Structure 1
Amino acid sequence: MKTPAGKTAAGEKTAAKKATTKKAAATKAGTKKAGATSVTTKKAIKKKPVAVPEKATADVKGASGVKTVAAKPPAAESRTALVRRARRINRELAEVFPYAHPELDFDNPFQLVVATVLSAQTTDLRVNQTTPALFAKYPTPEDLAAANPEEVEEILRPTGFFRAKTKSVMGLSKALVENYGGEVPGRLEELVKLPGVGRKTAFVVLGNAFGRPGITVDTHFQRLVRRWQWTEQTDPDKIEAEIGALFPKSDWTDLSHHVIWHGRRICHARKPACGACPIAPLCPAYGEGETDPEKAKKLLKYEKGGFPGQRLNPPKSYLDAGGKPAPPLGAG
């Protein structure tokens, strides 16, 4: 049976119309999919890793190189990875602060324990300005234990909380005389029994007067180890235990100096100098502070116009073999 020519043309026209409609729908779907891909791409761009200095020094001389790192370490960072990252940070800081040491002036364990007690709620600089007069008048535990409290208070007034500090240093001096023959004990259990001496002070004394490893958990240390995600603890004793487990015991004292110096000079509490930080590629908190190298450089804490870490008047125990002060960071 033959189909009329008119009917055949109409059928062909209808089929062509359906094909065009189907093609338009496919094109529209493709455009919508492309748009969704574009949105996804934009979101991906927003999460692009932060560019940080590959190996900056404290004076920003090495901030020209750039290395892309994740803004935070992997959420599932393994114990092994954490240990490696923590130890590498310590090695990097050792290069930046090779002469890190206690910043309290002292000639013997007695002077160090007294100076450390006085350093609470004040600066080491203020303590160093105060202790010469104190030790000149009361050079031994026997002298300080028998002193007139009002005279000691007057000397210690610039350090703040001078009445409480007078009570502590005179009390610990009396305890040294009565219980230890006027000598500072070299054991943690005995040191923490002295008035005004806690674990932090005890480890400062043990590590720097007796050469016995210890971790000094001061405010700088607490802030930085949490900022670096080495621990989530807030209790000093728990921080000490967790950080101690990341490092060999022989590293504890120097580690404390490196972290504290970095906290005082570069990684400040309110505005870290991220753009001048030597460990920027390893820091999960990079970006909390100023990232522009030149602006960050202005945030560094210099000492009397010198380099960060410079020691103008080191204690006698800090002299080199030739009897001269060790050179400041960046010298030579």
Structure 2
Amino acid sequence: MTDMSEMTEFEIKKERAAQAVALLEDKYPDALCSLTYQNPHELMISGRLSAQCTDARVNIVTKELFAKYRTIAEFAAADLGDVEEIIKPCGLYKTKAKSVIGMCKKIMEDFGGEIPQTIEELTTLPGIGRKTANLIMGDIYGKPAIVADTHCIRISRRLGLTTSDDPAKTERELKELIAPEKSSDFCHRLVLFGREVCKARGQRCGECTLREICPSAEQI
């Protein structure tokens, strides 16, 4: 076991992060995205719809949406009012519908109908922020990615790995601590863990897999 007394604060965080990665790998061997999709553009659109909406509700809504509009080109030419009506249960439907059509138009016009393969290009698409861009980079392109969603931010802070509620800062801090090849799956596992155990309210510290390494255990 590593002697923590001889380690710097950063080294302690890095060791704790590695332990968290390993423990969550054991608890959740299959690190799968909770959004349902069959191809890259469906994940991109689902990621946009998931803002301030549960993944479960998004998955219900996209069954109809993806049955009606099957390609990026079809979404680019979609009727705004029709898309609004279908995605209404996701909330913020007017803004989201405009983003969905807008991102697909830009992909057709500027990227030859192919979803961009860098964070920088992805975030030029209407409605695509770093969270969804990282989701695409990790799940579609198999690249290192930190998806700083609400579960990732909350649990990382409780573990003492990060210091901010800001998604961009959380992403930067975790990039320094998590092995690149583990980063995307780690974030998926944090979602599962956050829903089942380390909840925003009613957290279950007594049965927590990470209790022994968590400085916030029983103190929240």
- Do both proteins adopt the same fold according to a TM-score greater than 0.5, normalized to the shorter chain? yes
Say which one has the larger Rg.
1
Q: Residue in 1 aligned with 2:132?
A: 201
> Aligned partners of 2:112 and 2:13: how far apart in 1?
45
> Aligned partners of 1:80 and 1:152: how far apart in 2?
49
Cα deviation, 1:246-266, whole Å, max 9, x if unaligned, reads 122111111111222211111
Is residue 151 of structure 2 the alignment partner of residue 220 of structure 1?
yes
Q: Residue in 2 aligned with 1:241?
A: 172
Q: Name the SS for the 2:177 alignment partner.
A: coil
| Partners of 2:24 and 2:209 within 8 A in 1 | yes
| Partners of 1:188 and 1:203 within 8 A in 2 | yes
Q: Note the residue ranges of structure 2 that are not aligned, 5 or more in a row.
A: none
- The Cα shift of 1:77 comes to 6.2
> Aligned partners of 1:196 and 1:263: how far apart in 2?
25
Q: Residue in 1 aligned with 2:9?
A: 78
> Aligned partners of 1:202 and 1:177: how far apart in 2?
18
Q: Residue in 2 aligned with 1:184?
A: 115
**TM-align CA RMSD:** 1.6
Q: Residue in 2 aligned with 1:36?
A: none
| Partners of 1:117 and 1:201 within 8 A in 2 | yes
Q: Note the residue ranges of structure 1 that are not aligned, 5 or more in a row.
A: 1-72, 290-332
> Aligned partners of 2:91 and 2:56: how far apart in 1?
13
Q: Residue in 2 aligned with 1:174?
A: 105
- The Cα shift of 1:214 comes to 0.5
Cα deviation, 1:175-204, whole Å, max 9, x if unaligned, reads 111111211111111100000001110000
Q: Residue in 1 aligned with 2:26?
A: 95
Percent of paired sites with the same residue = 39
| Partners of 2:154 and 2:165 within 8 A in 1 | no
| Partners of 1:117 and 1:165 within 8 A in 2 | yes
Is residue 203 of structure 2 the alignment partner of residue 277 of structure 1?
no
| Partners of 1:271 and 1:288 within 8 A in 2 | no
| Partners of 1:145 and 1:170 within 8 A in 2 | yes
TM-score normalized by the length of structure 1:
0.63
Q: Residue in 2 aligned with 1:127?
A: 58
Matches within 5 A, 1:1-332: 78-288=9-219
| Partners of 1:216 and 1:256 within 8 A in 2 | yes
Q: Residue in 2 aligned with 1:327?
A: none
> Aligned partners of 1:216 and 1:243: how far apart in 2?
10
Q: Name the SS for the 1:142 alignment partner.
A: helix
* Structure number with higher helix proportion: 2
- The Cα shift of 1:101 comes to 1.3
TM-score normalized by the length of structure 2:
0.94
State the one-letter code of the partner of 2:194. Answer: G
Instruction: Write out the 4+ residue segments of structure 1 that deviate beyond 3 Å after TM superposition.
Output: none
State the one-letter code of the partner of 2:214. Answer: C
| Partners of 2:21 and 2:182 within 8 A in 1 | no
| Partners of 1:272 and 1:288 within 8 A in 2 | no
> Aligned partners of 1:239 and 1:148: how far apart in 2?
37
